[in-house]
Structures are given as C-alpha cells and as structure tokens.
C-alpha cells in the first residue's frame, strides 16, 4: 500500500479499540485511500465501513471490485447493509445487485426504502448489458415555460440530489424530452430569459434498450459528460454519466483482451478466481485449438509422399506456419481494436479487404525475400540444400507471400463476419486465427512446392 502511514495508524487504532478517533481519522482520508485500505485489510472491512459517515462509506463501496463489495456486505449488520444500500446511487446499487444470486438480491431489496426499491426493481427489469441497467433517475429536469431564474432556483433546491448538474434537461408535461442544456448556457443569459427561447430542439439521447458498448461510441463521438435515456415514446427515464461509461469501457476492454488471448472472459479479478473455475475458463478454447491443430498432422499426412521424396521441405514448415499465424494474429488484433473504437464497421469490409490484400502482399514479399536470401546464404556457407537450392528458395519465398496474404485476410475478415452474424468479434481470437492459418498454410506450402519442384525433387 502506498499510504503506509494510513495503514499503520489504522492498525494501531483498531488494536487500541479507539473507534471514536478512528472514525474521525477515516473521515479525513481520501475515498481512494479508504478503498485501498479495504483492499489491504479485507478482514476489517466491516470496521472500516462502520466507522465512516454513510455518504463516505457509500462513495468508497461503489469503487471497490465486486469480490470486495461482497466481503463488505458479509461483514456488516443487516441495519448497516440497509443504510448502505439506500445511500448508494441507483445505478451503482443495480450494478452490484445484478452480480449476486437471485436469492440474495431478494433479501437485499427488502432492506431498501419503498422509493429506492421501486427504482432498483425498475432498473433490474432492463436487459443485461443494456443502457437501462446503468442509468440513474437522479437528474435535473425543467419546463420550457420557466424563466432562467426559476431554473436556477430549482437547481439550488434539488441539485444536491442529482447525479450531475452539468447538464439540465427540458421536458413537457408528459415527461417527454424536448432539449438539453449545459448549465453554463443558463448562467450566461439574463435571469428573465424564458427557456423556450433558448431551445434549438437538437439533442442526442440513448434508448433504454441500447447496448452499453454502443453507448460508449455515442459518448466518444458526442464528447458529453452525460446523456439522457428515453423510452419508445421519448419519455425521459434517466441519464448515464461519463464515469459509468468509463467503467463499462474498462470492463469491455478487459473482456476483449481476454478473449483475444484465447480464453473466456473472466468475471472477477485473476487472483480472486478459484483455480478450477479459472481452468474451466481456459480449457474450452485450448481443446478447440488443439483439435484444430490436429488437422495440421492430417494435412502433413496427406503430403507424406512429397515429404518422403524431399525431406528438406519439412525443415521450413515451422517457418511457414508461424509467419502465417503471426500475420493473421496481427490483422485480427488491429481489426478488433478498430471495431471496438468505432473506427470501422461491417459495412467497411471491402475497404478493409483491399487494404489487407495490399498489406499481405507487401508483408509477404518482405518475409519471402528474407527467406529466399537466407536459404541461398545458408546453402553457400553452412548447409547445402542440394542441386535445387534456387527452386527450394523460390518455393519458400512464394509460399510466404501466399501464407502471409491468407493470414492477413483471415485475421481481418473473421471479426467482421462474426459481427455480421451477431457474434462477438473478439472470439476470433489470435490463437484461433493462428490455428486456422497453420492448417491452410501447409496446403499452400505443399501446393506451391509441387508446382515448383515437380519433375525435380518431386
């Protein structure tokens, strides 16, 4: 822990059971330091939360990882749990509850105040990973017939309960969203100005059923700190703030990286996950990839006669398949990342293919030239490949062009195909692409070899 003084002081006060001073001391610390203290002393999580003011306890709780949040809840009395759950913002409370077993959720919901219970049940009713799950109903909404003076008075009275007052929303008598304003727009005009005269009816909103990942792209494109969430009738249901989006973006990025690496997404920190569960997350893809690699042996068996006639061809098999796999993994990673950032969509497939065809040929030519030169130099100074060194070098060089081209095309097109059919592009992980290119690379290699060496070595 970076703040060793905090840790040492905490341990001393707990050992002395001086909880009055401990409470004052903890309320003096940064929320991030409190969260780190809970991480360092999980067995004392209950003591830490109990000795914080409830607002600071909720602020620290909301930034903890889920396993630590569970530890905190288990360490608290039912009355303290109720107090904490009611203090949490609706979106953070919903995010915590959706990770718990349904039986536990039912018990915790019973502890909520009637209004908080209604809000929570409403949010939990939306589809998992939808915007509705992470929106908060705490926002400032005003009417178009109000003056700016009325708006500012309303903000002063109710703003403390809002998630943010940076953006103010205009609704009609039915609750339909009409416009949104940054608060500075109200601060820079006369107090007698009527809201309606400032409206331009141009606003960006999310739908409650929108996917959270799509919402990230909207935030990025619109450069907003908050966006309104509406239903099918345009009624304002809540807002989503940038801090929620950053949290979701981090989770999505982590999940994609894990999938690209050839595992299922981990739903908890690596060191907190039970070993058998971790193995289960990894074994599925390993089995699939292993079965895929078995096709490599099948392909080599198909060309057994050619290998027997020209054993020298077998020397370059690792070089060929690794080059194809590497180029495929590169392309797959680049395309998945570009799709995650919204830089490309499925509609851009032809532009992507054209670029990858040119890239594959150029990259393959570079590697093919190096391979050809290496064979000539090696044959001259170290190990002779016989009377047909030039042909063998040409076989390897041309094969590398074909294999690298195929690798880049496979790696770039698979994520787009998966996206088109509704699957997660990240599941076209680098290991999967590499395995695919290994098998097809052998077919390309021996096809080229047969064409170049027929009548000589073959």
| Long-range residue pairs from 71-80, CB within 8 A, at least 24 positions apart, any chain | 71/42, 71/45, 72/38, 72/45, 72/46, 73/108, 75/45, 75/46, 75/49, 76/46, 76/49, 76/50, 78/111, 80/49, 80/50
Residue 401 pLDDT more than 90?
Answer: yes
Give the domain ranges of the chain: 4-125, 141-250, 270-453
Provide the pLDDT for residue 358: 93
pTM, two decimals, is 0.59
pLDDT the model gives residue 261: 63
> What's the pLDDT score for residue 369?
92
Fold classification of 4-125 is MgtE N-terminal fold (1.25.60)
Q: Return the structure tokens found at 237.
A: 């249901």
Q: What is the pLDDT of residues 412-423, one digit of tens each?
A: 898 888 888 877
pLDDT tens-place string over residues 101-131: 877 887 888 788 888 888 887 788 888 888 8
User: What distance in Å separates the CA atoms of residue 53 and residue 61, rounded to the nearest whole number?
Assistant: 12
- The answer to whether the CB of 444 falls within 8 A of the CB of 403 is yes
Look at residue 293 in the predicted model and tell me its pLDDT: 67
β pairing state of 177-182 and 167-171: antiparallel
Query: What is the DSSP secondary structure assignment for residue 180, as one 8-state letter?
Result: E
Spell out the long-range contacts of 373-379 with Cβ–Cβ below 8 A and sequence spacing 24 or more.
none
pLDDT in tens, 121-157: 778 888 888 888 888 888 899 999 999 999 999 999 8
C-alpha angle 381/383/389, rounded to 5°? 95
Assigned CATH class of 270-453 = mainly alpha
Q: How many other CB atoms are there within 10 angstroms of residue 376's CB atom?
A: 15
Q: pLDDT tens, 158-167?
A: 888 787 888 9
3 pLDDT more than 60:
yes
pLDDT at 307: 67
Q: What angle do CA 406, 260, 344 make, to 5 degrees?
A: 70
pLDDT reading at 169 higher than 90: yes
Comparison of pLDDT for 116 and 263, the residue scoring more? 116
Tokens 């109000």, residue? 146
* Per-residue model confidence as pLDDT tens digits over 264-297: 666 666 666 777 777 777 777 677 767 766 777 6
Per-residue pLDDT averaged across 20-31, rounded?
86
Say if residue 111 is exposed, middle or buried (CB neighbours under 10 Å; 0-12, 13-18, 19+).
Answer: middle
Question: Model confidence over 290-332: pLDDT tens digits?
Answer: 776 677 767 667 766 766 666 777 788 888 888 888 888 888 8
- Separation CA 392–CA 336 (nearest Å): 36
pLDDT at position 2 over 60? no
Q: Which residue has the higher pLDDT, 198 or 379?
A: 198
pLDDT value for 271: 66
- For the chain, the straight-line distance linking the first and the last C-alpha, in angstroms and rounded, comes to 67
Mean pLDDT of the chain: 83
226-230 and 206-207: which strand pairing? parallel
Q: What percent of the chain has pLDDT over 70?
A: 88
Quick one: average pLDDT of 78-86?
A: 87
What is the reported pLDDT for 254? 73
CATH number of 141-250: 3.10.580.10
């Amino acid at each position: 822990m970076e703040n060793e003084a905090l840790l040492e002081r905490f341990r001393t006060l707990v050992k002395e059971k001086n909880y009055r001073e401990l409470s004052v001391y903890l309320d003096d610390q940064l929320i991030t330091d409190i969260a780190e203290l809970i991480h360092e002393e999980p067995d004392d999580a209950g003591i830490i939360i109990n000795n914080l003011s409830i607002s600071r306890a909720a602020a620290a709780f909301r930034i903890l990882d889920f396993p630590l949040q569970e530890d905190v809840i288990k360490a608290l009395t039912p009355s303290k749990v109720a107090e904490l759950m009611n203090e949490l913002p609706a979106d953070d409370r919903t995010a915590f509850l959706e990770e718990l077993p349904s039986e536990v959720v039912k018990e915790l919901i019973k502890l909520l105040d009637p209004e908080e219970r209604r809000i929570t049940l409403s949010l939990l009713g939306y589809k998992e990973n939808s915007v509705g799950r992470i929106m908060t109903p705490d926002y400032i909404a005003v009417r178009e017939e109000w003056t700016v003076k009325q708006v500012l008075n309303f903000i002063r009275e109710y703003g403390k309960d809002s998630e943010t007052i940076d953006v103010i929303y205009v609704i009609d008598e039915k609750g339909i969203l009409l416009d949104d304003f940054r608060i500075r727009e109200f601060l820079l005009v006369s107090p007698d100005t009527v809201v309606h005269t400032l409206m331009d009816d141009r606003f960006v909103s999310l739908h409650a059923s929108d996917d959270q990942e799509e919402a990230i792209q909207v935030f990025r494109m619109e450069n907003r700190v908050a966006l309104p969430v509406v239903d099918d009738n345009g009624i304002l249901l809540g807002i989503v703030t940038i801090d929620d989006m950053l949290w979701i973006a981090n989770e999505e990025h982590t999940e994609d990286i894990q999938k690209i690496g050839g595992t299922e997404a981990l739903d908890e920190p690596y060191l907190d996950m039970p070993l058998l569960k971790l193995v289960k997350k990894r074994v599925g893809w390993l089995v699939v990839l292993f079965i895929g690699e078995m096709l490599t042996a099948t392909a080599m068996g198909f060309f057994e006669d050619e290998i027997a006639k020209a054993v020298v061809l077998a020397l370059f098999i690792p070089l060929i398949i690794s080059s194809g796999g590497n180029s495929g993994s590169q392309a797959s990673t680049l395309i998945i990342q570009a799709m995650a950032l919204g830089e490309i969509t499925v509609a851009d497939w032809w532009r992507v293919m054209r670029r990858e065809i040119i890239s594959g040929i150029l990259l393959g030519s570079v590697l093919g030239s190096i391979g050809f030169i290496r064979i000539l130099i090696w044959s001259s100074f170290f190990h002779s490949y016989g009377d047909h060194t030039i042909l063998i070098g040409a076989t390897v060089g041309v094969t590398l062009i074909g294999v690298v081209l195929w690798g880049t095309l496979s790696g770039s097109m698979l994520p787009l195909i998966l996206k088109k059919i509704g699957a997660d592009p990240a599941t076209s992980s680098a290991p999967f692409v590499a395995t695919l290119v290994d098998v097809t690379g052998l077919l390309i290699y021996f096809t080229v070899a047969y064409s170049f060496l027929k009548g000589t070595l073959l």
